[in-house]
């Protein structure tokens, strides 16, 4: 029996829209599922920044593998479900090919859902099922959608099937091939040659210098020959093939999977693919990757685009577009007066040696009208050199050769426009995002509007691939790094706002994937610009990553921190104590090198200055206690934990969440060692000290109190504390956590022979 949840409802809607979601002559692209969801939640999408509407996230909602985020649910709780119906009528009804059929299917779904109470059904269903207007249809649809997202989330029970007989898109999220640029041209012969090459080779490396159009070329290939493949997966190389494979999103992934488990499951799946599947790995710009020799032995076909000299697989050299008419056609797509300036445009094309990205940027600059074709031509002639016969970017230590001709073209065009600080600031800060929503980016930079970002997109300096997502072309990113020299100082606004997010722990942020990616880019691009700022950033990043169980990344952070602290002029004794504390608490060290971890933690304790950083001193004591307990030295461990708790309580120099976390950790250990009364004492004391606080961590404290009362056999106060916790979760909008906590509380009560309150059952334990 189907249930009224978002996955079921949205798939019914999609099936009734599918015939009208194809590409039309007057549309640049097909109307996608992402467009449909954004149009339904249009007011939230345009007014709020809490949630990133991207293909990966929306696919998870549609597949039923992730709930619609609480921020959306809370928005419509406050603003009314009728807004969903109003925008459905305005934006979506026109693509429904049979609105009566859709209406009746949703009526049947609601009527047959036995998990909905009769009162709830009466509230949703329209009074008259036979005579209705468009407004009434859409109002009903809005109510159904709101009911679906407002209910406790139940994950779809959909197994992952590791066999080449399946369609991978049903089981892998976020690996769809992006559409090529709508003005892609001039590569018909090369596309046919690449197709022919696949008759004799399964692994092909598309080689060519930066900005020639390798990425658009392989996207165009995938589009032209998609019917020849059962599956096509697209990935942008993140710097490590193992990382890329680990970070893939599969239906069969569990939140509790560690990095090794995810990698093992994913690689087993990829190994099962056969030659009717194609994997595309874009921007594979490295000299070597330790996993490449393994990956290229798999049975599926693969395409890599690269600027590097690769010594394995078949090399397909992509040269410039030889026919100037094709490139003139490209310019004319951007420049309205191309016909009146054809001769000089052809000169411009020859001056930049048919370099595709340079030609595209020329067209956009001309359309802007800030410079005449003659001015751009003169500037390029003064700043460009003749290309060598094999002018191909060789990957050096810093990833770019600053003397290459084609970089000089882009730098010359760059200097034509980037005149004031505001434009330069935006270009500097764009390097921290692989891909980001425009409004999110503007918010992180504290901009009043998105006008300058949009202008840079129009000029081609920032790539606006689809919807409101922007990124930097790798070649332009290199020029930004060379000429604009991003640093902690000149990117301080974004770095400050990013660090403020790193301090949010205790619950999962909806933009956590963007933040983690940004951490990598800060380390990659500006880590060497200010050692003390970098050290401080790494310390904040470590705590944030621990919240998301990014243990492999945490080990990289530890390694970077160690390199910095090898220089005695960087940091102080507390920085070194924190480094030892973090290294000792890494899961691998705790599990496999426990004695060494204890030794490191004792050293950290000996060098920590308790007066200048009492919270760090207390945390080291607490963690040392945990390590001793892990080592079966329970009494000694509890002594250190008690010392930590008393020290931070008496010092009064703490953030409330630090105190709550320490009290909860100590109480949990006491309960595990059958000292429930002492645990209750600690938790009640912490509750009193933090009265008036409202946070996810404080709600968890109240929940822990309820659990401790159950262990002590005291049922009435347990129910009271549980209900206080649930009320706080509800007020904070933590819908998913609330559901999980209700279920956990009910299960604990049953385990100890108690009945949970029946009022929990109606809403949360259906």
How confident is the model over 343-361, as pLDDT tens digits? 999 999 988 888 888 888 8
Q: What would the two tokens of residue 731 be?
A: 């007020």
Sign of CA dihedral 84, 741, 763, 15: positive
Task: State CA 724 to chain mean position distance.
Answer: 33
Give the tens place of pLDDT for each residue, 568-613.
999 999 999 999 999 999 987 777 789 999 999 999 999 999 888 9
Question: Would you say residue 623 has pLDDT above 80?
Answer: yes
Does the pLDDT at position 744 exceed 90?
A: no
Show the tokens assigned to 643.
Answer: 């010392």
pLDDT at 389 > cutoff 50 = no
Most confident of 206-220, 283-297, 413-427, 565-579: 565-579
Token pair, residue 3, equals: 């249930």
The answer to whether the CB of 641 falls within 8 A of the CB of 682 is: no
- Among 49-53, 381-385, 535-539, the range with the most confident prediction by mean pLDDT is 535-539
Burial environment of residue 184 by CB neighbours within 10 A (0 to 12, 13 to 18, 19 or more): middle
CB atoms within 10 A of CB 296: 14
Count CA atoms within 13 Å of residue 170 on its CB side.
12
DSSP assignment of 540-564: HHHHHHHHTT-HHHHHHHHHHHHHH
Does the pLDDT at position 730 exceed 90? no
Q: How confident is the model at residue 273 (pLDDT cuts 50, 70, 90)?
A: confident
Average pLDDT score over residue span 102-107: 88
Q: How many Å apart are CA 123 and CA 109, to the nearest integer?
A: 15
Instruction: Band the pLDDT of 22: cuts 50, 70, 90.
Output: low
Cα 82 from Cα 88, distance rounded (Å): 10
| pLDDT value for 160 | 38
Percent of the chain with pLDDT over 70: 90
Residue 92 has pLDDT above 60, yes or no: yes
How far apart (Å, rounded) are the C-alpha atoms in residues 681 and 759? Answer: 29
* Token digits of residue 667: 């109480």
pLDDT bucket at 506, cuts 50 / 70 / 90: low
Residues 637-657, buried b or exposed e (16+ Cβ, 10 A)?
A: bbebbbbbbebbbeeeebeeb
Cα end-to-end distance, the chain, whole Å: 14
Q: Domain ranges in the chain?
A: 6-150, 168-317
- For residue 142, the model assigns a pLDDT of 92
Q: How many helices (H) and strands (E) does the chain have?
A: 38, 10
Distance (Å, whole) CA 212 – CA 171:
33
CA distance 343 to 703: 75
Residue owning tokens 């105190």: 659
Stretch 127-155: mean pLDDT: 84
The pairs formed by 215-219 with CB atoms below 8 angstroms and a separation of 24 or more are 215/282, 215/283, 215/305, 216/180, 216/181, 216/184, 217/187, 217/190, 217/191, 217/305, 217/318, 218/280, 218/282, 218/303, 218/305, 219/177, 219/178, 219/179, 219/180, 219/184
Contact assessment for residue 306 and residue 284, using Cβ atoms and an 8 Å cutoff: yes
Distance (Å, whole) CA 538 – CA 532: 10
Q: What is the mean pLDDT of residues 711-718?
A: 92
Q: Residue 251 — pLDDT band, cuts 50, 70, 90?
A: low
| β-sheet bridge partners, residue 306 | 207
Q: How many residues does the chain have?
A: 766
Distance (Å, whole) CA 525 – CA 509: 24
Query: Rounded distance, CA 194 to CA 201, Å?
Result: 10
The CA distance from 79 to 764, in Å, is 23
Examine the pLDDT at 416 and tell me if it is beyond 60: yes
Which band of pLDDT confidence, cut at 50, 70 and 90, is reported for residue 270? confident
d(CA 731, CA 307): 52
User: What's the whole-number mean pLDDT along residues 44-53?
Assistant: 72
% residues pLDDT > 90 (the chain): 38
Contact 234, 222 (CB under 8 A): yes
What is the reported pLDDT for 161?
Answer: 37
Residue 241 has pLDDT above 70, yes or no: yes
Query: How would residue 742 be classed by pLDDT, with cut points 50, 70 and 90?
Result: confident
Query: How far is it, in rounded angstroms, from Cα 54 to Cα 467?
Result: 9
Report, as an integer, the average pLDDT of 213-230: 91
Of the two residues 704 and 461, the one the predictor is more confident about is 704
Backbone angles phi, psi at 317, to 5 degrees: -85, 120
pLDDT score of 167: 58
Report pLDDT for 762: 52
476-513 core/surface letters (b: 16 or more CB in 10 A; e: else): bbbbbbebbebbbebbeebbeebbebbeebebbeebbb
Topology at the third CATH level for domain 168-317: Rossmann fold (3.40.50)
The stretch 503-526 carries a mean pLDDT of 86
Confidence of residue 122 (pLDDT cuts 50, 70, 90): confident
Q: What is the mean pLDDT of residues 146-175?
A: 65
Q: What is the pLDDT of residue 395?
A: 31
Average pLDDT over residues 463-485: 84
Average pLDDT over residues 329-348: 91
Report helix, strand or coil for 30: coil
Cβ(152)–Cβ(763) below 8 Å: yes
| CB neighbour list of residue 583: distance below 8 Å, 6 or more residues apart | 558, 562, 589, 600
What number is the average pLDDT over the span 735-761?
Answer: 83
Pick from 14-23, 75-84, 224-233, 297-306: least confident: 14-23
User: Is residue 393 within 8 Å of 478, Cβ to Cβ?
Assistant: no
pLDDT at position 401 over 70? no
Q: Among the listed ranges 128-132, 365-369, 412-416, 692-696, which one has the minimum average pLDDT value? A: 128-132
- The C-alpha atoms of residue 136 and residue 411 are separated, in whole angstroms, by 58
Distance of alpha carbon 178 from alpha carbon 174, whole angstroms: 10
Beta carbons of 739 and 153 less than 8 angstroms apart: yes
Over the chain, what is the mean pLDDT? 85
The answer, yes or no, to whether residue 82 has pLDDT greater than 90, is no
Query: Token pair of 102, please?
Result: 């859709």
Report long-range pairs for 194-198 (Cβ below 8 Å, ≥24 apart). Answer: 194/221, 194/316, 195/221, 195/225, 197/314, 197/316, 198/301
Instruction: Please state which of the ranges 319-323, 465-469, 594-598, 637-641 shows the lowest mean pLDDT.
Output: 465-469
Mean pLDDT of all residues in 738-765? 79
Tokens standing for 495? 């770095």
Helices 356-368, 342-351: inter-axial angle, 10-degree rounding: 140
User: Greater confidence, 595 or 169?
Assistant: 595
Handedness of CA 203, 207, 211, 217 (dihedral sign): negative
The band of 65, judged by pLDDT with boundaries at 50, 70 and 90, is confident
Sole residue written with tokens 């890494």: 586
Which band of pLDDT confidence, cut at 50, 70 and 90, is reported for residue 50? low
Highest mean pLDDT pick, 31-45, 468-482, 558-572: 558-572
Is the separation of the CB atoms in 618 and 626 below 8 Å? no
Mean pLDDT of the 442-469 span = 86
């Amino acid at each position: 029996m189907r249930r009224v949840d978002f996955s079921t409802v949205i798939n019914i809607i999609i099936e009734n829209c599918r015939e009208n979601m194809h590409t039309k002559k007057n549309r640049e692209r097909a109307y996608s599922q992402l467009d449909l969801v954004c149009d339904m939640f249009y007011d939230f999408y345009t007014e709020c920044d809490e949630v990133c509407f991207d293909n990966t996230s929306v696919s998870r909602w549609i597949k039923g593998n992730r709930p619609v985020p609480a921020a959306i649910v809370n928005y419509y709780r406050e603003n009314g479900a009728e807004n969903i119906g109003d925008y459905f009528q305005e934006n979506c009804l026109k693509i429904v090919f049979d609105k009566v059929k859709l209406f009746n299917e949703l009526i049947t779904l609601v009527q047959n859902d036995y998990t909905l109470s009769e009162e709830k059904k009466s509230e949703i269903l329209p009074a008259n099922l036979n005579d209705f207007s468009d407004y009434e249809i859409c109002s009903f649809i809005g109510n159904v959608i709101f009911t679906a997202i407002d209910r406790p989330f139940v994950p779809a029970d959909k197994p992952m099937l590791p066999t080449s007989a399946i369609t991978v898109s049903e089981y892998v999220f976020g690996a769809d091939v992006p559409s090529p640029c709508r003005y892609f041209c001039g590569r018909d012969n090369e596309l046919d040659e690449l197709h022919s090459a696949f008759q004799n080779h399964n692994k092909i490396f598309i080689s060519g210098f930066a900005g020639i159009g390798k990425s658009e070329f392989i996207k165009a290939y995938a589009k032209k020959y998609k019917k020849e493949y059962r599956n096509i997966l697209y990935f942008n190389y993140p710097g490590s093939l193992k990382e890329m494979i680990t970070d893939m999103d599969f239906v069969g992934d569990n939140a509790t999977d560690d990095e090794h488990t995810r990698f093992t499951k994913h690689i087993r799946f990829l190994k099962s693919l056969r030659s009717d599947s194609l994997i595309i790995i874009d921007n594979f710009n490295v000299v070597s990757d330790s996993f490449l020799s393994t990956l290229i032995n798999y049975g599926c076909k693969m395409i890599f685009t690269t600027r590097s000299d690769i010594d394995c697989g078949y090399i397909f050299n992509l040269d410039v577009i030889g026919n100037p008419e094709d490139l003139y056609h490209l310019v004319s797509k951007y420049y309205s007066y191309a016909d009146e300036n054809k001769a000089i445009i052809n000169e411009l094309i020859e001056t930049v040696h048919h370099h595709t990205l340079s030609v595209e940027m020329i067209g956009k600059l001309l359309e802007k009208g800030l410079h005449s074709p003659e001015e751009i031509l003169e500037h390029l002639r003064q700043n460009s050199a003749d290309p060598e016969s094999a002018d191909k970017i060789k990957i050096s230590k810093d990833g770019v050769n600053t003397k290459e001709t084609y970089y000089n073209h882009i730098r010359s065009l760059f200097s034509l426009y980037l005149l004031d600080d505001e434009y330069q600031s935006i270009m500097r800060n764009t390097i921290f995002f692989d891909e980001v929503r425009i409004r999110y980016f503007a918010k992180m930079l504290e901009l009043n509007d998105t006008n300058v970002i949009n202008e840079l997109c129009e000029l081609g300096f920032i790539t606006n691939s689809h919807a409101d997502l922007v990124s930097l072309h790798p070649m332009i990113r290199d020029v930004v790094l060379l000429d604009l020299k991003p640093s902690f100082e000149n990117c301080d606004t974004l770095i400050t706002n990013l660090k403020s997010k790193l301090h949010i722990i205790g619950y999962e942020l909806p933009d956590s994937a963007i933040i983690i990616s940004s951490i990598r880019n800060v380390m990659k691009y500006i880590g060497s610009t200010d050692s003390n700022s970098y050290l401080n950033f790494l310390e904040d990043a470590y705590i944030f990553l621990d919240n998301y169980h990014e243990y492999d990344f945490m080990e990289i952070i530890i390694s970077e921190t160690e390199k910095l602290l090898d220089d005695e002029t960087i940091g102080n004794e507390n920085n070194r104590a924190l480094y030892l504390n973090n290294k000792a608490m890494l899961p691998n060290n705790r599990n496999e090198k426990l004695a060494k971890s204890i030794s490191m933690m004792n050293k950290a304790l000996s060098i920590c200055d308790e007066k200048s950083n009492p919270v760090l001193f207390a945390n080291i004591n607490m963690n040392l206690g945990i390590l001793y307990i892990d080592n079966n030295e329970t009494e000694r461990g509890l002594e250190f934990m008690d010392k930590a708790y008393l020290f931070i309580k008496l010092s009064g120099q703490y953030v409330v969440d630090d105190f709550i976390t320490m009290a909860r950790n100590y109480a949990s250990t006491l309960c595990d060692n059958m000292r429930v009364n002492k645990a209750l004492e600690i938790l009640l004391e912490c509750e009193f000290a933090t009265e008036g606080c409202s946070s996810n961590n404080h709600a968890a404290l109240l929940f822990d109190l309820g659990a401790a009362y159950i262990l002590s056999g005291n049922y009435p106060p347990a129910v009271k504390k549980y209900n206080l916790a649930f009320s706080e979760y509800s007020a904070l909008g933590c819908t998913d956590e609330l559901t999980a906590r209700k279920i956990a509380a009910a299960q604990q009560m049953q385990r100890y022979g108690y009945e949970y309150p029946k009022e929990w059952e109606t809403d949360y334990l259906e």
